A = this chain, B = another copy of it.
Amino acid sequence: MHSEKFSKDVSSFFRSPVREIFKRVDLNAIYSFAGGYPSADTFPLEAIRETMSEVIDKYRGKAFQYGATQGVPELRDAISQRYGVPVERVQITSSSQQGIDVCTRILVDPGDVVLTSSPSYLGALQSFRSYRADIRGVAHSSDIQAFQDAYVAILEQVKAEGKQVKFLYMIPDFQNPSGESLTLQERQMLVELADRYDFLIVEDSPYRELRYEGEHLPTMYSLSPDRVIHLGSFSKIFAPGFRLGWAIAHPDILDKIYVCKQSLDLCPPIFDQYVAAEFLKSGKLDENLAKSIELYKGKRDLLLDLLEEFMPEGVSWTHPEGGLFLFLTMPEGFDAVKFYDTALDAGVAYVAGEFFHPDGSGKNTMRMNFSFMTREKITEGVKLLASLLKDC
């Protein structure tokens, strides 16, 4: 027997090429620009140990019991205060990946259109595909009119097809994979389009607080609080191992997430939520965040310098003002998927940009992470990658 015949057609689930890499090699044994791991150096182990002990003293058995589906009140309050939103608009999620998945589950029927930027975050594309969404990607253009025209063309086309755009998925700050951010004007344009064409926006913001230069821009949520579902995450500002995130949205939308989460996992991990709440309220999170920003800014600057020094002609890259990634474009005709085996055999990993493009374009691109490795490994890794690229 086995499962094939029992299973529904799960071809819409696809494997993350990033996680497939992790199965093949030990990330610590190679030069890995793949993955979106924060540096383990940013995890404040002693502060965490202390906070954990305090949580046990303060909450006793309650810290290990079942809890509210919306999240523990202490953490919802802390998020509400930090981001200046009413607490009834805060739902804690068991990872912000779950936030993406739950939004898709409550909003998307098979064939419904989800708009994304192209390229976009792979884990979101995976989730949209698993619900058989019709994903339409829009490439960024620095000319705002051309950018708007590209959206309008797709929105009109979808209308002509008699289909419905359920939401636009967007990472406005230091996008994964490109590292680029939307300007204020672009944010306003998209929010206006959402009004005019009547769709929601899922704003995914895991990197927002990791800014190394430039001014903070308003969230899309703040521009249109009833039309935007804002997703936040502790993974990059605290530690991903807790698997905790949050959704900020209109209470009607949160109510749907709430009933969905009841059958999904009942409630997020309780002890971890109390630890995160204490960490936030005590100011330890901000202290630690400042250190992370300093560390990552240095690594970003190093990577930019190294690329400038070592990359062969014809290779270009983005200049991210924050976040964990930058995006490389090789000359036309280069195939980053094909080149991947060569790179991995030599001991250096990246993620081919093609995987982030809903239409499979971007074959000559790759994503590079600069948060995970040490400065020494970043240096050696760029030298190795550049020499391989020169030889190919």
Contacts and interface: CB of A to CB of B under 8 A. Distances in A.
Interface of A: 1-10, 13-16, 19, 22, 35, 37-38, 40-41, 43, 45, 48-49, 52-53, 56, 60-69, 94-95, 97-98, 101, 106-109, 112, 123, 126-127, 129-130, 166-167, 198-200, 226-227, 235, 239-243, 250, 252-253, 256, 259-260, 262-272
A8 to B, nearest CB: 4
Contacts of A14: 259
A16 B267 CA distance: 13
Contacts of A167: 6
B243 A268 contact: yes
A109 B198 contact: no
A183 to B, nearest CB: 25
A260 B198 contact: no
A2 B263 contact: no
Contacts of A268: 243
B7 A241 contact: no
Contacts of A35: 66
A260 B41 contact: no
Count this chain's copies in the assembly.
Answer: 2
A127 B5 CA distance: 22
Contact of A200 (B6, B112, B242, B253): B6
B52 A64 contact: no
A265 B243 contact: yes
Q: Please list the 3 inter-chain residue pairs (A to B) with the smallest Cβ-Cβ separation, ordered nearest first.
A: A40-B61, A241-B270, A64-B239
16 contacts: A8-B106, A8-B108, A8-B109, A10-B259, A41-B61, A52-B52, A64-B242, A65-B241, A94-B269, A95-B265, A95-B266, A97-B264, A98-B265, A101-B263, A123-B263, A241-B269
Contacts of A260: 10, 13, 130
A227 to B, nearest CB: 6
Contacts of A226: 1-2
Contact of A94 (B1, B15, B106, B265): B265
